[in-house]
Amino acid sequence: MNIFKKEETLHEFKWENLGDIKEGRGDLGEEMPVLVYRLMQYTMLDILTKDYGPEKANEYFRRAGFLAGTEFAKNVLDLTVEFDTFVANLQAALQSLKIGILRMEAFDPETGNLVLTVGQDLDCSGLPITNETVCNYDEGFIAGILEAFTGKKYDVNEVDCWANGDRVCRFQGSVAS
């Protein structure tokens, strides 16, 4: 049985195409080690970097993160609540799914500018120090979540990262001009 319409494939992302993980992985369950996630992420980044260069590879990761963040927000979060409730719900969802521990450090309701941290995140917590920020996917993921909630485009940049010696990833977000 084909679950896709004739013109659809797995290559066109739709939330429902993630499938029924509980049914499909009955014995193994829904969780897997972070090592496996990073193995997929960093080998994919390596191939994209070799084929397209680091700037283009990072752009692709941001774009994929943005799509994931947008769909995550639409399918997991309540987008109709007030900002403080939204942040609390986002914190709970990220921790429950073991994505990371979110803390809002600053938010300016007039400009929409914010600073947040994600500790113990999937992408880089525990990596060797390479003096670079590596959470490009997370930049897109956060931007997608913020746009889904606010209806405004966001520029999100990682300013601190485990890979550059910090113990949390810190992101600055601002409404795109």
Q: Structural domain boundaries of the chain?
A: 15-175
Model confidence pLDDT, tens digit, residues 43-77: 999 999 999 999 999 999 999 999 999 999 999 99
Which residue, chain included where needed, has tokens 């390596």?
46
User: Between 54-76 and 34-52, two packed helices, what is the crossing angle to 10 degrees?
Assistant: 140
pLDDT category, 177, cuts 50, 70, 90?
confident
Q: How far is CA 33 from CA 19, 25, 39, 69, 167, in A?
A: 20, 15, 10, 21, 20
Note the helical H segments in the chain.
Answer: 21-24, 34-52, 54-76, 83-96, 136-150
Judge whether residue 3 has pLDDT over 80: no
Judge whether residue 88 has pLDDT over 90: yes
Structure tokens at 132: 């670079």
Strand, helix or coil at 133?
coil
- For residues 92-102, b (16+ Cβ closer than 10 Å) or e, as one string? ebbeeeebbeb
Structure tokens at 30: 């829904």
**pLDDT at res. 63:** 98
Which residue, chain included where needed, has tokens 């400009």?
111
The CATH number given to 15-175 is 3.30.1380.20
Model confidence pLDDT, tens digit, residues 142-172: 999 999 999 999 999 999 999 999 999 999 9
| pTM of the shown model | 0.93
User: pLDDT higher for 1 or 99?
Assistant: 99
Is the distance from CB of 157 to CB of 171 less than 8 angstroms?
A: yes
**pLDDT at res. 22:** 92
